[in-house]
Chain A
Amino acid sequence: MARDTDSDTQANIGRRIVGSIFPRSPIPRTDADRRRTILEFLVLHMRPVRVRRSTVRYTHTFGLGGMSLVLIALLMASGILLMLAYDPSPEHAYRSILSLQDGMLFGATVRAVHHWSANILVAVVLFHLLRVFFTGAYHGPRRFNWVIGLGLLVGILASNFTGYLLPWDQLSYWAVTICTGMLGYVPGIGEWLQAFARGGAEIGRGTLVLFYSFHTTVVPVILIVLMAFHFWRVRKARGVVSPHPQDSQENDDSEMVLTLPNLLVRELAVGLTVVAVVMLLAALFEAPLGAPANPGMSPNPAKAPWYFMGFQELQIHLEPLIAVVILPVLGALGLILLPYLHFDHELSGPWFLSKTGRTTGALAAMVALVVTPLLILIDEFWLQQTGGAGWPAIGVIAAGITAFAVCLSKKFKPEKAEFVQALFILFLVGFAILTITGVWFRGPGMALAWPWIGAPA
């Protein structure tokens, strides 16, 4: 009674089900097929059908955005496993980590995958930000996507920081003490803000519950939403920025190639390499776990996580109000407003924008490389003996930066984008040196020390 076509397909119910999920063969054979594959698969259609040949070259982007996505996927997979074993209470948290590591199949490895992915992710997104900045990919249709990217950076730092507390060992307890202590210096609302971040007057059950819920729910949801938004804006901007200087971009459009396979195989290669590196690190090095948290004894030295170490180092030298509030707020404002500055020529494309951009950038890097360690040493061995650096020191540094900026614009007559880039490099290298000093050159009592000389017994 059924019509012929129906009885025909009823025989192949398995094929009908598969066909309803995958409208076409996942392995296309012709270019027309490849085009339709991109369009008709949900995940793939986040990509344009064609991309500029010049943009798929590996050294143009280093695949940093794709790496971040793969790392976040690894973090979510390993994080869900960890959630099943973890007990978010001060009494049981540490022990649940121990029993995860000792009693569960590959428990220590799963935790190590989570640890290494998280740390590499912070580094990769920072490099991603630098790539976008140094190829000038924040003009025109990319303006707001730069801001979304900054939001993602904040989310990833928040994710790392809230996760840092969860093992409830000495390392995490004191790192969180220091970082939430910094909030106390915000004028007016500092004390309230600190109590808010700690979920109470002191670090304890309230803090752990707050950090756990942010780490496992609030921040991941925000990240997923922002990521979808971020990728969609890249698509709307017709892919990543062209590596050619603006004036020669017209004839660039002729070199369009199909996304599948040209872009996707490269992304697959980068993604698989990232997975392999994380697995290798996780197999070789376990995630650190200190002694159980002891509120009565700060370890010596007590350090913040490495990505906040630059601020802690800054704190040793400058008044808390400057180091914790004024400079970070100025830095954040500068980053957010960067794409909205008025540029006469919106330089983009080649790494470091232009020849002048490369020269001025290298000069700024060298100045910061020499001056920052000098300033640290002057403060450590001279100013701190006489009461510490105060506002006068800030004045001297500000005057020095202004003098550098004036000399730079007199000597090289840079475009505004090149000028902004040089100043950015100056601050970036300075902050990197502060971070390196804090992580490797600070020993007991946070005194300067060589990293290869162990703490005196």
Chain B
Amino acid sequence: MSTSEPTTRRSLLGKIWVGLGGLALLEGIWIVTDFLKPRKRQGTDEAAETLIVAGPIENFDPGSVTAFQQGKFYLARLEDGGFLALYRECTHLGCTVPWIGAEERFVCPCHASVFDIKGRVLSPPAPRPLDLFAVRIENGIVKVDTSKTLKRNTFSDNQVARS
């Protein structure tokens, strides 16, 4: 970078001012971004109880779907007796998908995506099966860990919890 004018005290001071101004601007942007950053979930009761005890295995008939309001999921018991905890938000845009018992499928009211009892997409636009929560079966009691959703691209048998 060849400058036609030599660096004088005045031009150096000018550059320092510009630099300081830029620094102040960055600082401002930093503060604003930090203020706008998504908040961490506050320590409410909801956050504390992420492990939900659904109940004993016998309570759930094979082929049934039970809604859990508190954990925002459906506990599905497959025909072969295995369990899946399906997060109730549609993978398309996040609407709550209701279980239509008569048709044995989930139908999203927002964009008409359809999922089967395993959460597999029967009709788009949903891009992937319903997200899962981890299910544990201890001493015949079904427990669901709702601390984080497990995203999946296909259904596979190892997602199913069995006693």
Is the Cβ of A315 less than 8 Å from the Cβ of B111?
yes
Neighbouring B residues of A303 by C-beta, 8 Å: 110
B3 at the interface (CB under 8 A from A): no
Is the Cβ of A445 less than 8 Å from the Cβ of B112?
yes
B63 at the interface (CB under 8 A from A): no
Is the Cβ of A201 less than 8 Å from the Cβ of B112?
no
Interface string of A199-228 (1 = CB under 8 A from B): 111000110001000000000000000000
B19 at the interface (CB under 8 A from A): no
Neighbouring A residues of B10 by C-beta, 8 Å: none
Given A181-B94, A302-B95, verify A200-B39 contact (CB < 8 Å): yes
Neighbouring A residues of B36 by C-beta, 8 Å: 196, 210
B38 at the interface (CB under 8 A from A): yes
| Contacting residue for A446 out of B97, B109, B124, CB 8 A | B109
B127 at the interface (CB under 8 A from A): yes
Is the Cβ of B109 less than 8 Å from the Cβ of A302?
yes
Smallest CB gap from A179: residue in B: B93
Neighbouring B residues of A320 by C-beta, 8 Å: 92, 125, 127
Neighbouring B residues of A210 by C-beta, 8 Å: 36
Interface string of B88-105 (1 = CB under 8 A from A): 100011111110000000
B15 at the interface (CB under 8 A from A): no
Neighbouring B residues of A188 by C-beta, 8 Å: none
Interchain CA distance A175-B127 in the complex, whole Å: 20
Interchain CA distance A298-B41 in the complex, whole Å: 23
Interface string of B1-45 (1 = CB under 8 A from A): 000000000000000000000000000000000001111110000
| Contacting residue for B110 out of A198, A384, A388, A446, CB 8 A | A446
Interchain CA distance A101-B98 in the complex, whole Å: 33
Neighbouring A residues of B110 by C-beta, 8 Å: 174, 178, 298, 301-303, 446
| Contacting residue for A297 out of B96, B125, B127, CB 8 A | B96
Is the Cβ of A195 less than 8 Å from the Cβ of B38?
yes
A400 at the interface (CB under 8 A from B): no
A444 at the interface (CB under 8 A from B): yes
A296 at the interface (CB under 8 A from B): yes
A322 to chain B, nearest CB (A): 11
Interface string of B47-83 (1 = CB under 8 A from A): 0000000000000000000000100100000000000
Q: Counting chain A CB atoms within 10 Å of each CB, which of B88, B95, B110 scores highest?
A: B110
B107 at the interface (CB under 8 A from A): yes
A270 to chain B, nearest CB (A): 39
B123 at the interface (CB under 8 A from A): yes
Interchain CA distance A199-B39 in the complex, whole Å: 6
Is the Cβ of A200 less than 8 Å from the Cβ of B41?
yes
Interchain CA distance A312-B112 in the complex, whole Å: 12
| Contacting residue for B96 out of A196, A298, A316, A444, CB 8 A | A298
Given A210-B36, A446-B112, verify A384-B123 contact (CB < 8 Å): yes
Neighbouring A residues of B109 by C-beta, 8 Å: 298-302, 444-446
Neighbouring B residues of A67 by C-beta, 8 Å: none
Interchain CA distance A296-B92 in the complex, whole Å: 17
Is the Cβ of B125 less than 8 Å from the Cβ of A298?
no
Given A174-B110, A444-B109, A446-B112, verify A196-B95 contact (CB < 8 Å): no
A119 at the interface (CB under 8 A from B): no
A44 at the interface (CB under 8 A from B): no
A276 at the interface (CB under 8 A from B): no
Is the Cβ of B92 less than 8 Å from the Cβ of A198?
no
Is the Cβ of B125 less than 8 Å from the Cβ of A316?
yes
Interchain CA distance A188-B147 in the complex, whole Å: 23
Smallest CB gap from A180: residue in B: B94
A319 at the interface (CB under 8 A from B): yes
Smallest CB gap from A317: residue in B: B125
Interchain CA distance A198-B94 in the complex, whole Å: 12
Neighbouring B residues of A312 by C-beta, 8 Å: 111
Is the Cβ of A201 less than 8 Å from the Cβ of B111?
no
Neighbouring B residues of A316 by C-beta, 8 Å: 111-112, 125
Is the Cβ of A178 less than 8 Å from the Cβ of B125?
no
Neighbouring B residues of A19 by C-beta, 8 Å: none
A433 at the interface (CB under 8 A from B): no
Interchain CA distance A320-B92 in the complex, whole Å: 8
Is the Cβ of A296 less than 8 Å from the Cβ of B96?
yes
Interchain CA distance A300-B97 in the complex, whole Å: 10
| Contacting residue for B95 out of A178, A199, A388, CB 8 A | A178
Interface string of A415-449 (1 = CB under 8 A from B): 00000000000000000000000000000111100
Interchain CA distance A276-B112 in the complex, whole Å: 41
Neighbouring A residues of B125 by C-beta, 8 Å: 315-316, 319-320, 388
A177 at the interface (CB under 8 A from B): yes
Smallest CB gap from A206: residue in B: B39
Is the Cβ of A196 less than 8 Å from the Cβ of B93?
no
A387 at the interface (CB under 8 A from B): yes
A182 at the interface (CB under 8 A from B): yes
Smallest CB gap from A175: residue in B: B110
Interchain CA distance A446-B36 in the complex, whole Å: 34
Smallest CB gap from A210: residue in B: B36
Neighbouring B residues of A319 by C-beta, 8 Å: 125, 127
Smallest CB gap from A174: residue in B: B95
Neighbouring B residues of A297 by C-beta, 8 Å: 96, 98
Is the Cβ of A199 less than 8 Å from the Cβ of B111?
no
Neighbouring B residues of A301 by C-beta, 8 Å: 109-110
Neighbouring A residues of B40 by C-beta, 8 Å: 200
The 6 closest A-B pairs by CB, nearest first: A181-B93, A300-B109, A298-B95, A181-B94, A388-B124, A195-B38
Which residues on A are within 8 Å of B, measured CB to CB? 174, 177-178, 180-182, 184, 195-196, 198-201, 205-206, 210, 295-303, 312, 315-316, 319-320, 384, 387-388, 444-447
Ordered by A's residue number, 6 sampled pairs between the chains whose C-beta atoms are within 8 Å are A181-B95, A199-B38, A201-B38, A298-B98, A316-B125, A384-B124
